[in-house]
Amino acid sequence: MGSTLVETININAKDFTEHFLTCSTCINQYSSDSHEHQPKLLPCSHTVCRQCLEHIVSSQPRSDAIKCPICREHILLPRGGVTSFPPSFLVNQLLDLMVSQRRDVIPKCDSHTNEELLFCETCDKIFCQLCDQHQISAEHTVVPFSLAIKRMNEILSFKASKTTSCLDHALELVNNEIHRLDSSMEKAAEAIDRSFNEIKSYVENRRHNLLQSLKTTRDYKLKILNDQLNVILNEKSKIEIECSAFQQASDIHVLTQRIQELNDRIERMSLLGEPRENSFMKFEFRHNHALQDLARSLNSVGRIRVSSTYPPLCRAKIESPVANLQCAIHIETVDYNGNVRVDGGDPLTVNIWDSYGKLCEYDLYDKQSGSYTIIFRPLISGNHKIDIRIFDRPISGSPFIVDVTKHNNPLWSFGKRGRSENELSMPVSVIADDRNEREQVYILDPGNSRIKCLTIDGKFIEHL
């Protein structure tokens, strides 16, 4: 059976170094870093290390010329001596190449040491073509095992790089979510402070009203007591004046009459001896269930709203959009495990662009059951871009590219030109009446001077 054999050239690193990177005079390997074995290019195009050239110069009787140790050509020594010979650019390039390139290890067969192992990419099998009769067909691709290893390493490196890139992207997303989490906490804390400051204002207003009521009550009681006090002082002043006037009187009858009047006053003054108002004022804090009700109300004031919605698994179902007709987008949310969410309140961000890049208006409805509906009316045909995000993260498939068509395929059609019950002459208007269970369609046909009444599925009912 035939096979596709990919031919490659394998160079032995040791042989390559001996032939091209070794000084033929001292048998030392050239080095671009070493001062002694630096490769020097002679005018005859041969390369000799610097150490050998210096040794040749010191052993020659003439100090202005040397013989090439390879071709024996006479070469004039430059003014600067051996150091002035130019470096061998090609040898230095090969040295750099050997350093930069990884030396491949060529796997050999244990039984045939000179035979390189082969690899069948189709069967994913390593074999020696001398000792293993690998059954292959013309469609099989066979390459040297060393090349297969190199390819696998390249694929591994590519996959590792791609995986690392994905992980870097994941790290960026998670770190962004951590930052957003801190930001959400700060915003929620500010909202809590605002809400409870409002509650504090209610408590402060109640405290102020109670203190005002206390002061008003005190002022009322004080006025009554002060009025009574003035009456007592006036009566006392009158009695003192009258008694002072009658102390020098000698008429016994007059004195007796005044004594009787004082007795009557004493009886009347006994009522002034008791304060008309009392000083009792007390603040009661637990006179009813208001405190318990307040405590219960405070325990139910506010809540920390969270959501287990996982945007990458949430899906949207987009109805076929038609220009100038209402289109609905239905969104179902799920959690990280794929379980359907049963409550709403997730922050959705929606952007819809028409084919000219203009934003389209829409209405978003939260069904409070984990489902959301977006209603929009495209004004033009063409591709529209719809970006739907939850927690500012795209849902599955977002952004969506939808094609808005110019025309809608009819659900049903009715009539042709004529005057019979299933024919029309000049239809100008259609109205659908869905106000009751008997949904009907009315067609104004002035050409036949009548209104045709149909069922919702296009069946004739009557003429009006």
Rg (the chain; Cα; Å)? 54
CB atoms within 10 A of CB 48: 24
Whether pLDDT at 6 is above 50: no
User: In percent, how much of the chain has pLDDT > 70?
Assistant: 90
Whether pLDDT at 110 is above 70: no
- Write down the pTM of the prediction: 0.53
Regarding beta strands 450-455 and 440-445, do their DSSP bridges make them parallel or antiparallel, or are they unpaired?
antiparallel
Q: Which residue has the higher pLDDT, 421 or 396?
A: 396
Which band of pLDDT confidence, cut at 50, 70 and 90, is reported for residue 378?
very high
Cβ–Cβ < 8 Å for 205, 213: no
d(C-alpha 159, C-alpha 178), whole Å:
28
In this prediction, residue 105 carries a pLDDT of: 56
Within 206-347, strands assigned E span 315-318, 327-332
d(C-alpha 26, C-alpha 68), whole Å:
14
Q: Which residue has the higher pLDDT, 119 or 281?
A: 281
d(C-alpha 92, C-alpha 79), whole Å:
24
In this prediction, residue 2 carries a pLDDT of: 44
Which band of pLDDT confidence, cut at 50, 70 and 90, is reported for residue 213?
very high
In this prediction, residue 64 carries a pLDDT of: 82
Whether pLDDT at 410 is above 70: yes
CATH architecture designation of domain 311-404: Sandwich (2.60)
Number of residues that this document lists for the chain = 464
pLDDT tens digits for range 299-339:
888 888 889 999 999 999 998 899 988 899 999 999 999 99
pLDDT (mean) for 366-395? 94
Closest listed residue to residue 207, CA positions, set 285, 296, 298, 297: 285
User: In percent, how much of the chain has pLDDT > 90?
Assistant: 35
350-363 as b/e: b if 16+ CB within 10 A: bebebeeeeebeee
Backbone angles phi, psi at 105, to 5 degrees: -95, 120
pLDDT (mean) for 8-20? 70
Domain definitions of the chain by residue range: 13-103, 311-404, 416-463
In this prediction, residue 251 carries a pLDDT of: 66
d(C-alpha 75, C-alpha 327), whole Å:
91
d(C-alpha 127, C-alpha 209), whole Å:
98
Whether pLDDT at 384 is above 80: yes
d(C-alpha 373, C-alpha 367), whole Å:
8
Closest listed residue to residue 399, CA positions, set 342, 357, 443: 357
Q: CA–CA distance from 415 to each of 194, 431, 462 (Å)?
A: 66, 16, 14
CATH topology of domain 13-103: Herpes Virus-1 (3.30.40)
Cβ–Cβ < 8 Å for 450, 464: yes
H or E element at residue 181: helix 145-246
Cβ–Cβ < 8 Å for 361, 350: no
Regarding beta strands 348-353 and 382-390, do their DSSP bridges make them parallel or antiparallel, or are they unpaired?
antiparallel
pLDDT (mean) for 134-146? 69
In this prediction, residue 220 carries a pLDDT of: 94
Backbone angles phi, psi at 64, to 5 degrees: -105, 0
Q: Which residue has the higher pLDDT, 36 or 403?
A: 403
pLDDT (mean) for 141-150? 77
d(C-alpha 116, C-alpha 144), whole Å:
7
pLDDT tens digits for range 162-205:
999 999 999 998 999 899 899 999 999 999 999 999 999 999 99
Q: CA–CA distance from 235 to each of 241, 245, 272 (Å)?
A: 10, 16, 10
Angle formed by the axes of helices 145-246 and 252-272, to 10°?
A: 170
d(C-alpha 334, C-alpha 150), whole Å:
45
